[in-house]
Chain A
Amino acid sequence: MRAITRGWEWIRSIARGRSLEAGLDEEIRFHLDQQTEKNRRAGMSPEEARRHALLRFGGREHVRETTRDEIRPALLEDSVRDVRHGLRVLRRAPGFTAAALLTLALGIGATSAIFSVVRTVVLQPLPYREPDRLVSVWETNRGGTTRNVIAPANFVAWRERTRTLEHLGMVGPATLAMIVNGQPDQIAGLTFSFDLFHAVGVQPVLGRAYTIEEDLGGNDAVIVLSHEFWQRRLGGRGDVLGMTLSTDGRPRMVIGVMPPGFTVVGDKADFLIPYGQTVEQLRAVRGRGSSYAIGRLREGVSVEQAFSEMRSIYADLEREEPQRNARRTVMLFPLHEQMVGDLRPAVLALAGAVVLVLLVACVNVANLLLARSAAREREVGLRTALGAGRARLVRQMLTESLVLASAGGIGGLAIAALCHRGLLALVGDRIPIPRLEQVALDLPVVAFTVVVALATGIIFGIVPAFVSTSHASDALREGGRHGGGRRLHRVLRTLVVAEVALSLVLLAGAGLLMRSFLKLQSVDPGFRADGVLTAGVQLPATRYGLPQAGSFFRESLSRIAALPGVQHAAGASCLPVPFACIGTSFWRVDHAKPADGQLSSAQVRPITPEFFGTMRIPQVAGRDFSDSDTVDSPPVAIVSEELVRQQFADGSPLGRRLRINVDHANGKTDVEWTIVGVVGNTRSNLDGPVRQTIYIPRTQRPAPSITFFVRTPQDPTLLAPSVTGILHSMEPEAPVEVRTLDDVVVDTIARPRAISVLVGVFALVALAVAAVGVYGVMAYSARERTQEIGVRMALGASASSVFRLVIGQALRLVVIGVAVGLVAAGALTRLLARLLYQVEPLDPWTFAVTALVLLVVATIASYLPARRGMHMAPVDALRTN
Chain B
Amino acid sequence: MANERGDLLQGTLDMLVLKALQLEPMHGWGITERIEQWSESVLQLGQGTLYPALYRLERQGLIRSDWKVTQNNRRARYYALTRGGRKQLEDELAQWRRMSRAVNLVLEATIE
- Whether A associates with B in a native complex is yes
Comparing A30-38, A410-418, A427-435, the segment that makes contact with chain B is: A30-38
> Looking at the complex, which one of A6, A13, A31 makes contact with B84 (CB distance below 8 Å)?
A6
Given A27-B28, A31-B28: A9 touches B51 (CB 8 Å cut-off): no
- The residues of A that contact B61 with a CB separation of less than 8 Å are 5-10
Question: A66 at the A/B interface (Cβ < 8 Å)?
Answer: yes
Identity of the chain B residue whose Cβ is nearest the Cβ of A19 in the assembled complex: B67
The yes or no answer to A731 lying at the interface (CB within 8 A) is no
Contacts of A7 in B (CB 8 A): 61
Chain A residues closer than 8 Å to B51, beta-carbon distance:
24, 27-28, 63, 66-67
CB of A67 within 8 A of CB of B52, answer yes
Distance to closest chain B CB from A627 (angstroms): 100
A237 within 8 A of partner (CB): no
Q: Evaluate contact between A23 and B67: CB separation under 8 angstroms.
A: yes
- Taking CB atoms and an 8 Å cut-off, the chain A residues in 8-31 that contact chain B are 8-10, 12-13, 20, 23-24, 26-28, 30-31
Shortest CB distance A34–B (Å) = 4
Task: Specify the chain B residue showing the minimal Cβ separation from A59.
Answer: B48
Residues of B within 8 A of A12 (CB): 64
Q: Is the CB of A13 within 8 A of B27?
A: no
Q: Given A2-B84, A34-B29, A66–B58 Cβ distance below 8 Å?
A: no
B74 neighbours in A (Cβ, 8 Å): 30, 33
Q: Indicate which residue in B29, B58, B60 contacts A31 across the interface (CB closer than 8 Å).
A: B29
Chain B residue nearest to A33 (CB atoms) is B74
B48:A57 contact, CB within 8 angstroms: yes
B47: interface (CB < 8 Å) = yes
Give A93 Cβ to nearest chain B Cβ, in Å: 29
Q: Does the CB pair B29–A9 fall under 8 Å? A: no
Is residue B98 within 8 Å, beta carbon to beta carbon, of the partner chain? no
Select one of B1, B52, B59, B67 contacting A13, CB under 8 A.
B59
Q: Quick one: closest A residue to B70, CB to CB?
A: A30
Asked if A62 is at the interface of the complex by the 8 Å CB criterion, the answer is yes
A70 at the interface (CB under 8 A from B): yes
What's the Cα separation between A136 and B105 when bound, in Å?
84
How many residues on the B side are at the interface (Cβ–Cβ under 8 A)? Answer: 27
Q: In the complex, how many angstroms separate the beta carbon of A307 from the nearest chain B beta carbon?
A: 65
Q: Is A387 an interface residue (CB 8 A)?
A: yes
Q: Is residue B55 contacting chain A, with contact meaning CB distance below 8 A? A: yes
Given A2-B84, A9-B64, A27-B76, check contact A63 B29 (CB 8 Å).
no
Write the nearest CB–CB distance from A231 to chain B, whole angstroms: 60
Contact A63 B48 (CB under 8 A): yes
User: In the complex, A70→B83 CA distance in Å?
Assistant: 21
Contact across chains for A70 and B48 when beta carbons are under 8 A apart: no
Q: Does B82 contact A (CB under 8 A)?
A: yes
**In chain B, residues 4-30, which have Cβ atoms closer than 8 Å to a Cβ of chain A?**
27-29
CA distance A333 to B43 in the complex (A): 81
Query: A37: nearest residue on chain B (CB-CB)?
Result: B72
A878 sits at the interface (CB 8 A): no
Bound complex: CA A28 to CA B61 (Å): 22
For residue A57, which residues in chain B have a CB less than 8 angstroms away from its CB? 47-48
> Min CB distance, B4 to chain A, in Å?
8
The minimal Cβ–Cβ distance linking B92 to chain A, given in whole angstroms, is 15
* Interface contact B1-A387, CB-CB below 8 Å: yes
Q: Answer yes or no: A69 CB below 8 A from chain B CBs.
A: yes
Report whether A27 and B48 are in contact in the complex, using a CB–CB cutoff of 8 Å: no
- CB within 8 A of B59: which of A8, A26, A56, A71? A71
* A249 beta carbon closer than 8 Å to chain B: no
A58 at the interface (CB under 8 A from B): yes
- A71 in complex: contacting residue of B48, B53, B55, CB < 8 Å: B55
Asked if A389 lies at the interface with its beta carbon under 8 angstroms from chain B, I say yes
B77 touching A23, Cβ below 8 Å: yes
Which parts of A863-880 form the interface with B (CB within 8 Å)?
none
Q: Tell which of B46, B60, B84 has the most Cβ of chain A within 10 Å.
A: B84
Chain B residues with CB below 8 A from A543, complex form? none
CB proximity of A50 to chain B, nearest CB, Å: 15
Interface centre among A5, A6, A34 (most CB of B within 10 A): A34
Q: B68-95, CB under 8 A of A: which get 1 and which 0?
A: 0000001111000011100100000000
Asked whether B48 lies within 8 Å of A66 as measured between CB atoms, the reply is yes
Closest to A58 in B: B48
The answer to whether A70 and B29 have CB atoms under 8 Å apart is no
CB-nearest residue of chain B to A66 = B52
Interface residue A81 (Cβ < 8 Å from any Cβ of B): no
Q: Does chain A have a CB within 8 A of B101?
A: no
CB A53 to nearest CB in B, in angstroms, measures 9
- Closest chain-A Cβ to B107's Cβ sits at a distance in Å of 33
Is the Cβ of B1 less than 8 Å from the Cβ of A70? no
Would you give the shortest CB distance from A391 to chain B, in whole angstroms?
12
- Judged by a CB distance under 8 angstroms, whether A51 is at the interface is no
From the candidates A31, A33, A69, A70, name the one contacting B47 in the complex (CB within 8 A): A31
- In the complex the two chains form, is A56's CB within 8 Å of B47's CB? yes
Is A72 positioned at the interface, with any CB of B under 8 Å from its CB?
A: yes
Chain A proximity of B11: nearest CB distance (Å): 15
Q: Known: A9-B58, A9-B64, A70-B59. Is A58-B52 also a contact (CB below 8 A)?
A: no
Q: Are B52 and A69 neighbours in the complex by a CB distance under 8 Å?
A: yes
The reply to whether B76 and A30 contact each other, CB–CB distance below 8 Å, is yes
In the bound assembly, the distance between CA atoms of A817 and B61 in angstroms comes to 57
CB distance from A19 to the nearest CB of B (A): 9
Separation of A20 and B66 alpha carbons in the complex (Å): 10
> Are A30 and B52 closer than 8 Å at their CB atoms?
no
Q: Are B29 and A35 in contact (CB under 8 A)?
A: yes
B97 proximal to A (CB < 8 A): no
Contacts of A5 in B (CB 8 A): 61, 82-84
Query: For B27, B47, B58, B87, which residue has the most chain A Cβ atoms within 10 angstroms?
Result: B47
B10 shortest CB reach to chain A, Å: 11
Check A72 against B87 for contact (C-beta < 8 Å): no
Complex Cα spacing A71 to B55, Å: 6
B75 touches A9 (CB 8 A): no
Cα(A389)–Cα(B52), bound, Å: 15
Residues of B near A69 (CB, < 8 A) are 52
Which residues from B are CB-within-8-Å of A20? 55, 58, 65
Bound Cα distance from A69 to B4, whole angstroms: 14
Give min CB distance, B18 to chain A, whole Å: 14
Given the complex of chains A and B, what is the CA–CA distance between A71 and B58 in angstroms?
Answer: 9
Q: A595 → chain B, closest Cβ, in Å?
A: 90
Expressed in whole angstroms, the minimum distance between the Cβ of B16 and any Cβ of chain A is 17
Residue of A nearest to B30 (CB): A34
Report the Cα distance A730→B64, complex, angstroms. Answer: 96
Bound-state Cα–Cα, A347 to B2, Å:
55
- B67: shortest Cβ distance to chain A, in Å? 7
| Chain A contacts with B in 166-211, Cβ cutoff 8 A | none
Contact residues in B for A33 (Cβ distance below 8 Å): 74
Cα separation A10 to B64 with both chains bound (whole Å): 10
Is B59 a contact of A63 with CB atoms below 8 Å? no
B52 contact from A8, A23, A63, A72, Cβ within 8 A: A63
Which residues of chain A have C-beta atoms less than 8 A from B83's C-beta? 5
Cα separation A23 to B77 with both chains bound (whole Å)? 8
Interface centre among A5, A7, A12, A35 (most CB of B within 10 A): A5
Chain A residue contacts of B75, Cβ below 8 A: 26, 30
Shortest C-beta distance, A393 to chain B (Å), equals 12
Q: Which of A87-128 contact B (CB under 8 A)?
A: none
**Shortest CB–CB separation between residue B6 and chain A, in angstroms?**
14
Give complex CA distance A58, B45 in Å. 11
B contact residues around A10 at 8 Å (CB): 59, 61
| Interface positions of A (Cβ within 8 A of B) | 2, 5-10, 12-13, 20, 23-24, 26-28, 30-31, 33-35, 56-59, 62-63, 66-67, 69-72, 387, 389
Ranked nearest first, the 4 interchain pairs of A and B with the lowest CB-CB distance are: A9-B61, A6-B61, A70-B55, A58-B48
Jot down 23 A-B pairs with beta carbons below 8 A, ordered by A.
A2-B87, A5-B82, A6-B61, A9-B59, A9-B61, A9-B82, A20-B55, A20-B58, A23-B77, A26-B77, A27-B28, A27-B77, A28-B51, A30-B75, A56-B47, A57-B47, A58-B48, A62-B1, A66-B51, A70-B52, A70-B55, A71-B55, A72-B59
Known: A20-B58, A58-B48. 11 other contacts (CB 8 A): A2-B84, A6-B61, A7-B61, A9-B64, A20-B65, A24-B51, A28-B51, A30-B27, A30-B76, A57-B47, A57-B48
